Amino acid sequence: MATHPGYPPPPPPMYGGHPKFHAFREVPVHMQCPYCHAEVATSVTYEAGTMTWVICLFMILFGFWLGCCLIPFCIDGCKDCVHTCPNCQQVIGKFNRM
């Protein structure tokens, strides 16, 4: 690509329509694994994180201490998302809710 005087350089090349930086959220991400270099869609699993514990503590403070405070540990929307490679099982990224 030719650059024209007075204009900024073109953006960096894209990978699959997305920049090299991958925003890990709740959905699988299509990318090249940095460990085994395979083209994969990440596997997403959930684990209890800071947000889960904070919601649990708030529920205890507001009187939901008779087992109801454990509900956040059953809801994936309260947990952190861990992205792993389905090929080599290495952790590629993590989305922390807090």
Phi then psi dihedrals of residue 85, to 5 deg: -80, 125
Degrees (nearest 5) of the Cα angle 53, 54, 58? 115
Give tens-digit pLDDT for 23-38: 889 999 999 999 999 9
CA 69/CA 94 separation, integer angstroms: 25
* 22 contacts 85 by C-beta, under 8 angstroms: no
Give tens-digit pLDDT for 43-90: 999 999 999 999 999 999 998 878 899 999 999 999 999 999 999 999
pTM for this model (two decimals): 0.73
Query: HSE on the CB side for 91, CA within 13 Å?
Result: 8
Instruction: Give the C-alpha distances (Å, rounded to integers) separating 81 from 1, 25, 34.
Output: 39, 7, 18
